[in-house]
């Protein structure tokens, strides 16, 4: 089927390729004229036959909001917008309401897989009305991995459910990454195990901890043995934060997720204010010298 | 090659089958005469041709210690003992020293894979002298998964390194399990996502969080939708505890591993003494009634 | 000076007494006619001489919002409203804007001290314009503890700063309470220390951990030795949650505060969904029976 | 009464002064001849009248062990040794057994109060036989704060109980310090509160979080506003580690204590190996550049 795709960055471009491989027709728009098929959204819309399907793959927040708003003015009743970016689920109700006022349908779709999705397929979590999900299913089937549909795709619930599921997925991801990394640090902190990176590789088949993330860790260790040149500074994309804020709102204890998020925060501090205070306090009661 | 295998429980029995499938000859001993090939360890030793290889697969601690001690009196110089159980790495030096005093070699081997190892193969982490590792390699090759040796086997270091690597592996496993489970609890705590179990299934291909543990979670959810009948009481086998104690000894921050371990501890408490005190204290300064 | 006080619950009633002791005139209003001096807010306002000062001491959220809204319609330009409840700091800007549109001033005041404040005085944290703070200072001086003003009172910043400081104060309080309680649980978990409650009492003078909370713990232990009859179920008033959400918004690692909050969440669960999943997963790979 | 005191460092010297003020006779020994009253332990012992009381105040571990061993050879049956240092409780049984074999009594005494104990008195937690505790009571009464004995002294249990209680006391202290410091960091991370240090001072009377540690924090903030010159590098004396290891041994969840300890570990790392791995992994699946 025909699709308008907005946002041709790393993720968008790879998704376009996978859709085209599956026989779909993709008209792409990007702010960068070098990669865009059309000069603007007006042209994008006019180049698609009604009823249209437009997939948004731009940064969450302001960029997505602006795109949805502009599309609301350009599209026609019966068209369908799918937000495949990493939007916060709370944005989805606004986007749907705005588009619904023009008779335009809306789905939110969490997309997982990173740069490997082009070949592996993308894990998809979708929220919205069942008839709209059904309509876009050929696209979802092209993007998701080979195999049974329910192993790479879920209609998670109403509008917002796709991004909610993706948010939780990323929160889990934080915890998984941190768990492996803590173990790696411990192995390196003693001299009992002399082939630390070899242990990680040996875990990739057969063990209880085997996973795709572990496979990637092994790649990373092979590229940079001991990870010597790697900067520990670790950004967070927002979804871990939203997960923790949801946990707090719903009184769900998530100590592992919180610890993983806090470790990222700490990785970005030159000096911990908290520990400056702890250090100063030790000086007060113990008489230690703590000045730098 | 020929092997004496001590301990024919769930793990030992499956390992015997996998070794036999690979063409090795296994003489098994177990306390349970119904499954044992020989009546006692003396018979086991006498039924093996020197130089012998004896693999111990009994519970860590006292049972393993007693077995090693008895073997030290029965085996001959040039024989080899492999402890494949979940022993604490600090036990290995004692076992090696005892056996070395009789001229008997010793290897420690961490084995991962659970009840699935029979068909998938077992992830193996081995500690000890290189020549002894080489000698037992046909056994390791039979037990580990198909494919490149270094993706399912590692000679991790000297004596103790195998169990150390396995200990850390299990510490990581605690963190991974907890990360998935926290996400699952959050998904269930809101009504945004209506197909929670479906999300887990949809993550098994394509997503960043796909793993063997996730595959098992999907099996568990299919067997018990919503996990309604499952008791949250969760034992720990000791390796998570040892991991955390090593972290403390080596000043390695392991917040995720600690959180996962503490969650298991808490799952076994009817009432948290800590929270009884917090509750009592709220009553003191707030005037709340907190009696049961 | 003269003050209208809205909300004569446990806190409001004690504050009224302390203000009256200091020579101020308090006209109190409460929904409960048995304790109220006037039948409604209209009467309250008409019984005060302009320019009026009205102190709100009702539950945070809807009740406070409704009271502010009603006062905005009843008060006159030049009057002053102080919200002394546990409002979220984000509410303060709304309240100020609404009142400012009628020429009415606004201060937010975090009040700490619980039921003991009547005799000890209340710790006060105030946000708003300096001239308004100055105007209400006789009230603050009456409510705060004896001694230097800056040891029991702070003008913390602009509107919202008082409630923000109180929010963080409560977040800290969660951590302090949990720290003592964890230590108490450990002392009780071994048989090394035979006089656990005696240790807590012995810490109340001289030690590094002495505090008012510790004094209260000793009272609680004296009333209920071993805290045997205490229900671990622990509510949270919201301020710990807001603290953690602020931490997340500002990328501040707060592992202790988070752990204390999560422990409260967990204290209210009959069975942890997270641990049901961990338990189920152990069953999958280990072949353990985990059904209840 | 007469006392031999071994170790005249910061703590030992202040304790000597407090004992002398109370009318006791103290013969002090220190490795440093400039502060020592006698040239060696032999002279110390010979200068005391039997039955002797000797108080050890030297670093835990090897130094204490060596001192106990030497005293075992110098003292006579009926003498009494008190270890007031920060020994691990597991050392006490060894020390007692060694001394008991010569007929010499042994008590362990945890001492809290830091450099302020000279004037405030020290919080004391004692383990050992009741008759020996009774015999040393005049010393304990001199060292502990004024006021009721049970508010500054506890006979916590048998040998080891004093150091165990002190260990837990220090574990609690870690949590308390971290709780205050996290709150301080959050206050500084936003611009809502403009007088952060003033908030801490305003909490010292009247609030729920008032404590001696808070008083010290205010001193520290007054000496170094904003704590600008303070190095966050924070050592740990061992007792927090032992506390956590005891928690693990006894299956006690101590998330706050663990978080506080881990924060100290992290404060001493130039770059977190854990976060280097997390960062490297993000690079693998997201295509981010993460090299330094």
Summarised one tens digit per residue, pLDDT across range C125-183 is: 999 999 999 999 999 999 999 999 999 999 999 999 999 999 999 999 999 999 999 99
Q: Of the given ranges (A110-119, A150-159, A193-202), which has the lowest mean pLDDT?
A: A110-119
3-state secondary structure of B259: helix
Task: Name the residue facing A262 among C253, C266, C274 (closest C-beta).
Answer: C253
Judged by phi (left if over 0) then psi (alpha if -120 to 50, else beta), residue C59 lies in beta
Is the pLDDT assigned to residue D115 strictly greater than 90? no
pLDDT score for B35: 96
pLDDT score, position B116: 86
Distance CA C162, CA D187 (A): 12
Q: What is the pLDDT of residues D52-82, one digit of tens each?
A: 999 999 999 999 999 999 999 999 999 999 9
Q: Assign D81 to helix, strand or coil.
A: strand
Does residue A116 carry a pLDDT above 90? no
Tokens of D62: 């090897």
Interface test with D, best of C96, C110, C133, C179 (most D CBs within 10 A): C179
Contacts D258 to B, Cβ<8 Å:
255, 258, 262
- Closest chain D residue by Cα to residue C185: D252
What gap in Å lies between CA A40 and CA A48, rounded to an integer?
13
Would an 8 Å CB–CB cutoff place C240 in contact with chain D? no
Closest to A20 in 3D by CA, of A37, A3, A33: A3
**Of D245, D255, D285, which has the smallest distance from its Cβ to B262's Cβ?**
D255
Whether A212 shows a pLDDT value over 90: the answer reads yes
Instruction: State yes or no: pLDDT of C192 exceeds 50.
Output: yes
Overall average pLDDT of the C260-265 stretch: 97
Mean pLDDT of chain A: 95
Q: Residue B65: its pLDDT value, please?
A: 98
Strand B153-157 to B123-127 pairing: parallel
C233 vs A: CB within 8 A: no
Catalytic residues of C: 166, 173
Q: Which residue has the tokens 């027709």?
A: A25
**D242 Cβ contact list (under 8 Å, min separation 6):** D88, D89, D167
Q: Which residues of D58-93 are buried (b: 16+ CB within 10 A; e: fewer)?
A: bebeebbbebbeebbebbeeebbbbbbbbbbbebbe
Whether C219 and B115 lie within 8 Å, measured CB to CB: no
Q: Do A244 and C248 touch (CB under 8 A)?
A: yes
Give Cα B128 distance to the centre of its chain. Answer: 19
- Residue (of D183, D110, D215) closest to D153 by Cα position: D110
Percent of chain D scored above 90 by pLDDT?
93
Which of 172-231 (C) contact B at CB < 8 A?
177-178, 180-182, 184-185, 188-189, 213, 216-217, 219-221, 224, 227, 229-231
pLDDT at A292 over 50: no
Query: B240 CB near a chain A CB, below 8 Å?
Result: no
Spatial distance between the Cα atoms of C38 and C8, rounded to a whole number of angstroms = 12
Q: A2-6 and C123-127: which strand pairing?
A: unpaired
Is there a cis peptide before residue C170, judged by omega within 30 degrees of 0?
no
Distance from CA of D123 to the nearest CA of A (A): 14
Q: Is A251 on the interface with C (CB under 8 A)?
A: yes
Dmax over CA atoms of chain A, in Å, equals 78
Helix (H, G, I), strand (E, B) or coil at A272: coil
pLDDT at residue A156 is higher than 90 = yes
Higher pLDDT, C288 or B279: B279
Confidence at residue B115, expressed as pLDDT on a 0 to 100 scale: 81
Among all residues of chain D, which has the CA nearest to that of B284?
D208
C-alpha–C-alpha distance, residues B80 and C243, integer Å: 59
Q: What is the pLDDT of residue C291?
A: 47
Cβ contact, residue pair A255, C259, below 8 Å: yes
Is C156 at the interface with chain D, CB within 8 A? Answer: yes
- A122 contacts chain B (CB < 8 A): yes
Residues D25-33 have a mean pLDDT of 97
Task: Please tell me which residue, D236 or A170, carries the higher pLDDT value.
Answer: A170
B265 close to D (CB below 8 A): yes
- B116 versus A33: the higher-pLDDT residue is A33
Of these ranges, A228-237, B27-36, B230-239, the one predicted with the greatest mean pLDDT is: B27-36
d(CA B161, CA B163): 6
pLDDT at D292: 43
Percent of the residues in chain A that have a pLDDT greater than 70, as a whole number: 98
**CA–CA dist B213, A171 (Å, integer):** 17
- pLDDT surpasses 50 at B120: yes
Nearest CA in chain C to A249: C241
Give pLDDT, residue B292: 43
Percent pLDDT > 90 in chain B is: 92
pLDDT confidence of residue C34? 96
What pairs with residue D230 in β-bridges? A291
**pLDDT tens-digit readout, C88-130:** 999 999 999 999 999 999 999 999 988 889 999 999 999 999 9
CB D191 within 8 A of CB C96: no
Contact D53, D75 (CB under 8 A): no
Q: Which residues in C209-240 are b (16+ Cβ under 10 Å) and which e?
A: bbbbbbbbbbbbbeebeebeebbbbbebeebb
Q: Between β-strands B123-127 and B105-112, what pairing exists: parallel, antiparallel or unpaired?
A: antiparallel
Q: In percent, how much of chain C has pLDDT > 70?
A: 98
Rounded Cα distance between C217 and C204, Å, is 10
Indicate left, alpha or beta for C238 from its phi (over 0: left) and psi (-120 to 50: alpha): left
Instruction: State the pLDDT at residue A229.
Output: 85
The predicted-structure confidence for B1-12, as pLDDT tens digits, reads as follows 999 999 999 999
Q: How many CB atoms lie within 10 A of CB A211?
A: 23
Determine, for residues C278 and B272 on separate chains, whether the beta-carbon distance falls below 8 Å.
no
Tokens 């790649």 label which residue? A219
* Mean pLDDT computed over B231-258: 96
Please check the confidence at residue B287 and state whether its pLDDT lies above 70. no
Q: What is the pLDDT of residue D291?
A: 47
Residue C116 has a pLDDT of: 87
Give tens-digit pLDDT for D155-204: 999 999 999 999 999 999 999 999 999 999 999 999 999 999 999 999 99
Mean pLDDT of A242-256: 98
Would you state the pLDDT for residue B135?
Answer: 98
Section D239-266 average pLDDT: 97
Cα separation, C179 vs C169, in Å, equals 15
Q: Is the dihedral of CA B73, B75, B78, B82 positive or negative?
A: negative
Q: Does D10 touch chain B (CB under 8 A)?
A: no
- Closest by CA to B95, choosing from B155, B162, B45, is B162
Residue (of A154, A134, A157) closest to A144 by Cα position:
A154
Best A119, A155, A193 residue to mutate vs chain B (most B CBs within 10 Å) = A193
- The answer to whether D122 faces chain A, any CB pair under 8 Å, is no
Residues of B in contact with A260 (CB under 8 A): 179, 256
In this predicted structure, the answer to whether residue C229 has a pLDDT above a threshold of 90 is: no
Instruction: Summarize chain C as % helix, strand, coil (round to 5).
Output: 55, 15, 35
pLDDT for A288 equals 58
Question: B291 or D224, which is more confident?
Answer: D224
Query: Exposure string (b/e) for B25-42, b if CB count within 10 Å is 16 or more?
Result: ebbbbbeeeeebbbeebe
Six token digits for residue A116: 């490997």
pLDDT at residue number C265: 97
**A82 strand-pairing partners:** A55, A107
Q: Report how far residue C70's alpha carbon sits from residue C61's, in angstroms, rounded to the nearest whole number.
A: 14
Asked if C264 is an interface residue toward chain B (Cβ–Cβ < 8 A), one would say yes
Q: Is the pLDDT of residue C264 over 60?
A: yes
What's residue B267's pLDDT? Answer: 96
Given a cut of 50, whether residue D49 has pLDDT beyond it is yes
**Regarding beta strands A123-127 and A105-112, do their DSSP bridges make them parallel or antiparallel, or are they unpaired?**
antiparallel
pLDDT, tens digit (0-9, with 9 covering 90-100), for B40-92: 999 999 999 999 999 999 999 999 999 999 999 999 999 999 999 999 999 99
Chain D: list its partners (3+ Cβ pairs within 8 Å): A, B, C
**At residue A126, does pLDDT exceed 50?**
yes
Tokens of B276: 């009884």
Please give the positions of B annotated as active site: 166, 173
Please tell me the distance from the alpha carbon of residue B111 to that of residue C212, in angstroms, as a whole number: 52
Residue of A nearest to C266 (CA): A253
In chain C, the percentage of residues whose pLDDT exceeds 90 is: 93
Which residues are CB-contacts of C270 (< 8 A; sequence separation ≥ 6)?
none
Catalytic-labelled residue, pool A173, A182, A201, A246: A173
* Tens of pLDDT, residues B202-227: 999 999 999 999 999 999 999 999 99
A216: nearest CA partner in chain D? D284
For A17-50, the pLDDT digits (tens) are 999 999 999 999 999 999 999 999 999 999 999 9
Residue D244 has pLDDT above 70, yes or no: yes
pLDDT at B290: 52
How many CA atoms are closer than 13 Å to the CA of D95, on its beta-carbon side?
34
Report the alpha-carbon distance of residue B84 to residue B71 in Å, rounded.
15
The whole-number average pLDDT for the span D46-51 is 97
């Amino acid at each position: 089927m025909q699709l308008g795709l907005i946002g041709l960055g790393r993720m968008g471009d790879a998704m376009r390729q996978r859709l085209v491989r599956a026989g779909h027709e993709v008209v792409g728009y990007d702010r960068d004229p070098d990669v865009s098929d059309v000069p603007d959204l007006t042209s994008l819309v006019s180049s698609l036959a009604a009823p249209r399907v437009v997939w948004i793959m731009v940064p969450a927040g302001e960029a997505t909001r602006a795109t949805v708003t502009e599309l609301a003015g350009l599209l026609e009743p019966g068209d369908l917008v799918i937000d495949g970016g990493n939007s916060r689920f709370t944005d989805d109700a606004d986007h749907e309401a705005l588009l619904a006022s023009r008779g335009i349908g809306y789905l939110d779709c969490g997309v997982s897989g990173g740069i490997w999705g082009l070949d592996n397929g993308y894990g998809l979590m979708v929220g919205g009305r069942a008839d709209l999900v059904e309509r876009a299913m050929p696209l979802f089937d092209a993007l998701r991995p080979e195999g049974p549909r329910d192993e790479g795709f879920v209609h998670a619930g109403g509008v917002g459910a796709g991004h909610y599921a993706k948010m939780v997925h990323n929160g889990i991801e934080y915890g998984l990454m941190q768990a492996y990394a803590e173990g790696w640090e411990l192995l390196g902190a003693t001299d009992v195990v002399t082939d630390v990176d070899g242990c990680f590789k040996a875990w990739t088949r057969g063990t209880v901890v085997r996973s795709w993330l572990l496979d990637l860790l092994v790649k990373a260790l092979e590229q940079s043995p001991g990870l010597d040149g790697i900067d520990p500074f670790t950004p967070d994309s927002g979804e871990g934060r939203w997960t923790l804020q949801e946990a707090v709102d719903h009184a769900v204890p998530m100590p592992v997720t919180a610890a993983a998020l806090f470790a990222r925060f700490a990785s970005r501090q030159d000096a911990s204010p908290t520990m400056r205070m702890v250090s100063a306090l030790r000086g007060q009661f113990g008489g230690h010298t703590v000045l730098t």
